[in-house]
Amino acid sequence: MTVAPEEFAPPVPPASEVFADALAHLVSDTVERQRILGSGAFEAIGEGAEVRLSSGRTMLDFGSYAVPLFGHRPATVTRAVRAALETLPTSTRLLTNPYAAALAARLAALVDPGRLDKVSFGLNGADAVETALKLAIARTGTPSALAVQGGFHGKSMGALALTHDPLRRGPVRGFLGDVRHLPLEPDAVARAAREAPFAALIFEPVQGEGGGRAIPPELLRRWSADAHAAGAFVLADEIQCGLRRCGPVSVSVSEGVRPDAVLLGKPLGGGVMPLSAVVGTRELFAPLAADPYFHTATFGGHPASCAAGLAALDLLDTVAESLPAVAARLAAGVAALAASRPGSVVGVRSTGLLAAVEFGDATVAGLAVLEAGRRGLLVGQSLSRPAVLKLLPPAVTDAAQMDRAFAILDAGCRAAERRAARSG
C-alpha cells in the first residue's frame, strides 16, 4: 500500500514562484526547457510510471535518467528509508554502519559471487567511475586508460576523460587524462596494448547515451581477455544498463566477460535515494587495503541510501518476473513507430527496458521530445547522439500505459515533422 504523499508533503508553492527562483539561480536554459515540457508546471508527485505536475496533469515517465526502474515512490523502498531516518539518519564514519555492511554483502553475493567481493559506495554513477579508475591507476602505476567510441561515463573530470563526447570534453581538454577511445573492432585492445600500456579498459555493455547500442558479447570477451593479458583491469560500466534494466543483474557477467569491477548506480537507490557502487575484485581494491584513506567520500555508504538499496534489491525478483512482458511491449512499440514514420525514423533498437529511436535529423528528435512532453510523455535525447531518443520505462509500466506512451510519441513525431518542415 502506498502512503498518500499529502501526509508528508509541504504546501505546493505557486509555479510562478518556483520558476522565478529556478531561472534566477539554476541553469536558466535547462529551467526554460523544463518549463516548456511541463507546460508551465513543475513536478510535484511521482507514482509508479507517472509523475503528477503542480497543475494536476499527469505525465508518463520514460526518461528520468533511468533511475525509477521500480517506478516512482515504491512503497517498500520509502518505508525502508523512513525507518533508517528514524534510527540512523547519518553515519559517524568512525563506527561500522550496518546498512552499508548488509548492502555490500548482498551485492557481492548477487553480482558475481566469490569473485567480485569488495564494494565501495558513492552517490552517483560518476562517483563509481572515478573510484574504479583511480584504483586501477594506483594498482598498476599506469596513468592511462582505454574507453570505447560512443561511450558515456559521466561529466566529472576523470569520468569525462573516459567519455567519448567532443562537445563536453572540448572546454576542459587540457585537464583530461591519457585516454584512447577504441572503435568496435576485435583487435582494438590488442593494438592499443602494443602501442602503450594502460591501467584499465572501461565499457558499457549497452551504451546508454551512445544511442542504445549493445556491444556484441564476443567482442567484449575478446577485449577483456586482451586487456587482462596486457596486465590491465576491466571495468564494466553498468550504471544505466545493469540491475535488470537490460535483463540480467550484470550484463557483462552474464555474457562471460569476467570484469574486474561492475559499476552500478541509477536504480540502485530504488528510485528514492542517490546511491552507486563499485563491486570489484580484491586485486583492484588492493590500494585501499594498503591505505584505507586513499579514497573516501563523506556520504559514501549513507545509511538511508543503503537502506533504500537493500529494499531495491528485494524488488529485483519482481522486476525479473515482469520485465519480459514490458520489454516485449517496448520492442513492439518502437518497431511499430519506425514502420509508421519511415520519413523521419531511420532505425530503432531495444534491449530489455532500454529502447532507442533514431531520427535522420537531430532537430526533429529534439522537437519530438518537446511535442511528446506537451502531450504527456517524458523522453530524452541521448547526450552523445542527439538524433536518438531513449525510452526508459519503469518495470511497473502496464499495457495500457505502454499503448498510451506510443500513441503520444507517434503524435509527437508527426507534430515535430510538421514543425521541422515549416521551419525548413
Give a yes or no: residue 6 inside a domain: no
Q: What is the pLDDT of residue 7?
A: 55
Give a yes or no: residue 338 inside a domain: no
Q: What is the pLDDT of residue 326?
A: 97
Give a yes or no: residue 354 inside a domain: no
By DSSP bridging, strand 345-351 and strand 354-359 are antiparallel
**Whole-number Å distance between alpha carbons of 62 and 60:** 6
Question: Which helix (H) or strand (E) segment is 146 a member of?
Answer: strand 144-148
Return the bridge partners of 58, or none: 52
Domain count, the chain: 1
Q: Is the CB of residue 420 less than 8 Å from the CB of residue 387?
A: no
**Whole-number Å distance between alpha carbons of 330 and 308:** 27
Residue range of the domain that includes 123: 75-315
DSSP one-letter code for 68: -
Give a yes or no: residue 419 inside a domain: no
Give a yes or no: residue 389 inside a domain: no
The pLDDT tens digits along the chain (424 residues) read 444 555 555 678 999 999 999 999 999 999 999 999 999 999 999 999 999 999 999 999 999 999 999 999 999 999 999 999 999 999 999 999 999 999 999 999 999 999 999 999 999 999 999 999 999 999 999 999 999 999 999 999 999 999 999 889 999 988 999 999 999 999 999 999 999 999 999 999 999 999 999 999 999 999 999 999 999 999 999 999 999 999 999 999 999 999 999 999 999 999 999 999 999 999 999 999 999 999 999 999 999 999 999 999 999 988 888 899 999 999 999 999 999 999 999 999 999 999 999 999 999 999 999 999 999 999 999 999 999 999 999 999 999 999 999 999 999 999 999 999 998 6
DSSP letters spanning 227-268: HHHTT-EEEEE-TTTTTTTTSSS-HHHHTT---SEEEE-GGG
Q: Which of 416, 405, 396 is nearest to 376 (CA)?
A: 405
**Whole-number Å distance between alpha carbons of 155 and 165:** 10
Give a yes or no: residue 7 inside a domain: no
Q: What is the pLDDT of residue 158?
A: 95
**Residue 157: which CATH number?**
3.40.640.10
Give a yes or no: residue 284 inside a domain: yes
Give a yes or no: residue 37 inside a domain: no
Q: What is the pLDDT of residue 8?
A: 54
